Structure 1
Amino acid sequence: MSAHHIFVVDDEPDIRETVKDILEDEGFVVIAAENAEAARHALRERRPDLMLLDIWMPDLDGISLLKEWAEDGDGLPCPIIMMSGHGTVETAVEATRLGAYDFLEKPLSMAKLLLTVERALEADKLVKENVGLRRRTPLVHEPVGRSAVMQRLREQVKRIAQHDTWVLITGEPGSGRETFARFLHSQSGRKERPFVDLGTSALTRGNAARELFGSEENGRIHYGSLEQAAGGTLLLDEVADMDLEAQGQLLGALDTGSFLRVAGSEPVPIDVRIVAATQRDLKEDVQSGHFREDLFYHLNVVPLHIPPLREHPEDIPDLLNHYVDFFAAHEKLSYRRFSVGAQNFLRNYSWPGNIRELKNLVQRLLILGAGDEITLSEVEAALGNTPVVSVQPVEGMVSFDQPLRQARELFEKAYLDYQLEKHNGNVSKMAKEAGMERTHLYRKLRSLGIEIKERR
């Protein structure tokens, strides 16, 4: 497991060394700095997981340094615990206002210091998890299914996870590539560290280096995906979409084991497991000249192929039950069961969108349907691109026993989810039919946590 990195910034050598020794005894990796300039330099070398920052220092006080980082476009680089032997209530209030996690008075109680550090790291972890949930990041769970193929895949992933090797996951859209990547991370020694999902289609020409490696501009540091995932796992989603320039930049970093931020001068070491995922055949892309052969062999250390849902239909009943339970628990939707006829029909359905299509179907039926049982006719209507609302009474679309705002949000989610499915993720067509400006539509999708890339 990769240990947490902590920066200790204090102008008193005895305090620096004492705190450093105690934290190292607890298994942390500690870097000490004696003033604000040394702290800035340390940040250029590595992004820490937490910082202990003294207030009174000879070159610049800690509050001013905290304010400098707080006003940066990227915000504070990590959770920060302030320390002072001459603190006041006003100073502590100002530090908290600027985003500091806590304020410790000197002389330091080492027991309180360790407890505060542990709580700050745990709070930061929870914040990141909550951000992921708001973006509708799937909760990590063991891939569902009792078929022989799913049992074999789960065991294979558990074996791979014990080795810090890179993995190339292939499979059709919606087949569960990201689920298996997250499951791999959760089974590995890096599971307590970040999991960062980078959609490589966002690496447009000219910005790839900044997104991957970060940048240093006017003394301010923007951390790229490789540093955000430090100690953990970086998923390169749809890696085949990377242009050749971005491929070359990534390959150079992988070859040397380090990279330079844009406009930076200090090399930053790479400490991540890279998992690449794609729906395309990279060997064909290599032959056609669209993907670098040397990068392919870097990424394809261990190949893992996820079969389409139509090749293991015996798992469909378990998947239906799983997602009914999931949405009932996490989105407070009413529990409904699939009738035997509906389940048999879905076992014989071709599932072009694979597990993602099944998940979206379950969510739609729970939001728009009424009654304890999901019938065959209801399922046929939903899969036939006929909105379920057309065959249900208005009062059955959402529960009336909830606040208007929550009911409206559920309807908007269902409506926009249906429109995305209908137009295969084409936002222009969707905006035209919905009668919305594209910019307003994008804003609405983000506010509801609906990922457009899932439909493509």
Structure 2
Amino acid sequence: MSHTERRTRPATSEVLVVDDEEDIRELIALSLLRLGLACDTAGTVAEARQLLDTRRYRLCLTDMRLPDGDGLEIVETIQARCPGLPVAVITAFGSIDTAIRALKLGAFDFVTKPVELKVLRELVTHALNLDAPAAPTEESGGRRLIGNSAPMAHLRAQIAKLARNQAPVFIHGESGTGKEVIANLIHAQGGRAAAPFVPVNCGAISPELMESEFFGHRKGSFTGASADKEGLFQAASGGTLFLDEVGELPLAMQVKLLRAIQERAVRPVGGHTEVPVDVRILSASHRDLAQLVAEGKFRQDLFFRINVITLRVPPLRERPEDVPDLAAHILQRLAQREATAPRRLSPAALARLQQYPFPGNVRELENLLERACALCEGDEIGAEDVDLYPTESLTHSQFNFDPIRDAAPDDTDDGSDDERIRVLRALDETRWNRSAAARKLGMTLRQLRYRLQKWGME
């Protein structure tokens, strides 16, 4: 098929390929033709800009090194002239830093030379899926982003933008702000929406089982491995893997995770060959990863790899105007669960909630309203039914335990309400994984179990 014949194809079904080597241009064009896509080609930045000014494309593939510039200029041109057009860069093997620069400028994804047909096919599929009818943008497993404040409007705009590329995103926010909901929305609005979204709490997996959980294992690879098992990477292949509380990963696992992300392949425990995987990595933590890097607790190379783009989630205290909508939504959901009419908040109760800083954020509001509904006898929740926790003692993320006092289970700790609240919050944040909660609280698992038994909560 001649270049002229390809130019006559419908404008909405074409790809622009930019590379200064004619044989590579023709090879990519032939590969795209096998996928049912015709393409235009350009050998310079100037030629590419001229084509972008006169034709419409669904995808652009550009080499990084061009005679009159580089691929980053193509990315910037597309961001300015053709917003919404996905552009992927082709980099030399090992040029990860250059690829990350392109992603930060707005590139959709990157591939390395020599370009493998399978990788190219996956990239094209994800890019063209962005043109498919969007999934409901406000739903995430029954959860939604509620609120019309300025911080929430900005967050929604960022989610919509990030959904249109494959860049790794680090979601930073306090506990209870809905980081998993946001990750799910990025997935649901992107080109991988039809594939799995697999969330994993990194702090809730035993270090001994972590490699098997992430990468899978082969039958007989260790005691109890009675059959082959796929890992989380394989389960998410084609979709999105969400690493919640990624700062909890042990250093040894961080090394293996970095290799899996860079090589786009995993080696199951007991396996002899690597298994290719196609996943987008989203991660989150309430901890400051840069501080963990400075303390030597998190690898700097992994930090840069997963933190290409940072998305900050505002805490609830920064958007008190959203509390009425959030409360109404939560009360409606509670009523549906109990098959009753939704309760309403009195003006005094609502005013009290809007003045409260909510150290536990939306999750704390949910728990508070659920408790109020359980205790309230009428249809209206009054200010006296809204039991707010002490705020001063909840500003710290960990306990300051006395190691001598906590050394033995026969300690004389009085089990104050303040301590119980902190323990419950740590358990809630780790989905009642007691080992992870104990690490958060700075105590041993034995000490945590003793407290729960003493309080009748075991």
Q: Which TM-score band applies after superposition, normalised by the shorter structure?
A: 0.5 to 0.7
Listed as ranges, the matches of 1:124-203 within 5 Å are 139-203=141-205
CA deviation map 1:69-97 (0-9, x unaligned): xxxxxxxxxxxxxxxxxxxxxxxxxxxxx
Deviation at 1:421, TM superposition (A): 6.8
Judge conservation of contact 1:233–1:273 (CA < 8 Å) in 2. Answer: yes
Unaligned runs of 5+ in 2: 1-34, 36-138, 221-225, 392-419, 428-436, 438-447
Find the counterpart in structure 2 of residue 229 from structure 1: 236
Q: Quote how far apart the aligned CAs of 1:346 are.
A: 0.5
Match of 2:206 among 186, 189, 204: 204
Q: Distance in 2 between matches of 1:382 and 1:293?
A: 40
- The code of the aligned residue for 2:190 comes to S
Letter aligned with residue 300 of structure 2: E
Partner residue in 1 for 2:256: 249
- 1:359 is displaced (CA, Å) by 1.0
SS at match of 1:197: strand
TM-score when normalising by structure 1: 0.55
Of 281, 291, 294, the residue aligned with 1:287 is: 294
DSSP 3-state at the match of 2:146: coil
Distance in 1 of aligned mates of 2:340 and 2:375: 10
Q: TM-score, structure 2 length as denominator?
A: 0.55
Matched, 1:305 2:320: no
Pick aligned residue for 1:260 from 257, 263, 267: 267
SS in 1 for 2:228: strand
- Please name the residue that 2:373 is paired with: 366
Instruction: Report how far residue 229 of structure 1 moved.
Output: 1.3
Tell me, yes or no, if the aligned pair for 1:141 and 1:183 is still in contact at 8 Å.
Answer: no
User: Once the 2 structures are TM-superposed, how far is the Cα of residue 202 of structure 1 from its aligned partner?
Assistant: 3.0
Counterpart AA for 2:158: Q
2:445 maps to none
- Count of aligned pairs: 269
C-alpha contact (below 8 Å) 2:375/2:385 kept by paired residues: no
What residue number does 1:330 align with? 337
Q: Which amino acid aligns with 1:431?
A: L
AA at the equivalent of 2:319: H
For the Cα contact (< 8 Å) 1:190–1:232, is it kept in 2? yes
Distance 2:310 2:161 in 1: 13
* CA–CA separation in structure 2 for the residues paired with 1:139 and 1:330: 15
Task: Give the distance between the partners of 1:422 and 1:220, measured in 2 at CA.
Answer: 38
Q: For 1:326, give the aligned amino acid.
A: R
Q: Which has the higher helix share?
A: 1
Counterpart of 1:99 in structure 2 is none
Q: Take 1:191 and 1:326, find their aligned partners in 2: how far apart are those partners? A: 25
Shift of 1:331: 4.3
> Partner of 2:148: helix, strand, or coil?
coil
Alignment partners' CA distance in 1, 2:247 and 2:340: 37
Kept after mapping to 2: 8 A contact 1:168/1:275: yes
Q: Distance in 2 between matches of 1:316 and 1:433?
A: 36
1:348 alignment counterpart: 355
How much has 1:335 moved relative to structure 2?
1.4
Deviations 1:425-449 (A, max 9, x none): 366366324536x4xxxxxxxxxxx
Residue 140 of structure 1 and its aligned partner are, at CA, apart by: 4.2
Alpha-carbon separation, structure 1, partners of 2:421 and 2:270: 40
What CA distance in whole angstroms lies between the structure 1 residues aligned with 2:238 and 2:324?
Answer: 38
% identical equivalent positions: 38
Alpha-carbon distance, 1:264 to partner: 1.1
Paired residue for 2:453?
A: 432
- Could you tell me how far apart the structure 2 residues matched to 1:433 and 1:420 are? 15
Alignment match, 1:97: none
TM-aligned CA deviation for residue 302 of structure 1: 1.3
The structural deviation recorded for 1:364 is 1.7
